[in-house]
Amino acid sequence: MIATVQYNSRKLRIDLSKPLDISIPVSDRQDNVNAWYIDKPSVEPVRDGEWVATVKDGACINFNNIKFNPHSHGTHTECVGHITEKVHSINQNLNQFFFLAEVITVAPENYMKDKVISKKQLQFALGHKKRDALIVRTMPNTREKLTRQHSNTNWPYLMKEAVEFLVSKGIKHLLIDTPSIDREKDECELLGHNAFWNTSGKLRMDATITEFIYVDNRIKDGEYFLNLQVAPFENDASPSRPVLFEVID
């Protein structure tokens, strides 16, 4: 199904029959993707005495309690409330859900004992393109990202100058396949988060960061139409399902 979408001053043709889901789901499996030193999610039926809320145990319904942390257990989208004293909800601050996006692939560089994404790399990848959203796929890119246990791994992160460059380019929505845009252990400086949301000035309330995505290698670098689907939790972050649609020339 080919649709024509008016986006700002452009008319985009997209194929709605070929969505490209770049999210990682939440499950109670032991190999559910994880970070930040907590246990895996739990999905358990409600119990009332001897009654168990599963059809296989004789109930007429399946009725589960689910316990998870959006920052640790799968693809999630967060707002400035993630790092501010005042409570801000992603559900209140993300009010648009379709964006012109660019997918880029980056091989993180060596920096001291870390792997980082630099300003120079982002400048090269973006050039003069104007996009609302940026999707960063890091190399190497294997399906092991779907089950990786990230705690104490010192994953690749964005240099502060790289994030400042994205802000100067007008990027409102940053998506990446690591647990955080910042270093795993940084004494809570959160340089990238603070730069992206401009916490030293006027807060970028409508800007979001989405972490723990997975961009399959079959998805080519380039321009896409992004549908950023976010569960309506009143929280700083929520599980999300970013879906890409290829822009047809």
Report pLDDT digits (tens) over 97-113: 999 999 999 999 999 99
- How far is residue 238 from each of residues 93, 116, 122, 163, 246, measured CA to CA in Å? 12, 26, 27, 22, 25
pLDDT score of 55? 98
Give the chain's domain count.
1
Instruction: Kindly state the average pLDDT of the residues 209-234.
Output: 98
The structure tokens listed for 28 are: 């109670």
pLDDT at 59 over 90: yes
Is 86 inside a domain boundary?
A: yes
pLDDT at 22 over 90: yes
**pLDDT tens by residue, 109-152:** 999 999 999 999 999 999 999 999 999 999 999 999 999 999 99
Is residue 155 within 8 A of residue 42, CB to CB? The reply is no
Is 12 inside a domain boundary?
A: yes
Is 58 inside a domain boundary?
A: no
pLDDT score of 249? 72
Is 53 inside a domain boundary?
A: no
Burial bucket for residue 232 (CB in 10 Å: 0-12, 13-18, 19+):
exposed
Q: Is the pTM of this model over 0.75?
A: yes
What gap in Å lies between CA 48 and CA 35, rounded to an integer? 33
Is 180 inside a domain boundary?
A: yes
First to last CA, the chain: 15
Here the CATH number for the domain that contains residue 228 is 3.50.30.50
Is residue 229 within 8 A of residue 241, CB to CB? The reply is yes
Is 46 inside a domain boundary?
A: no
Is 142 inside a domain boundary?
A: yes
State the residue range of the domain holding 170.
Answer: 2-27+70-248
Is 41 inside a domain boundary?
A: no
Pick the closest to residue 185 from 114, 130, 131, 243 (CA basis). 114
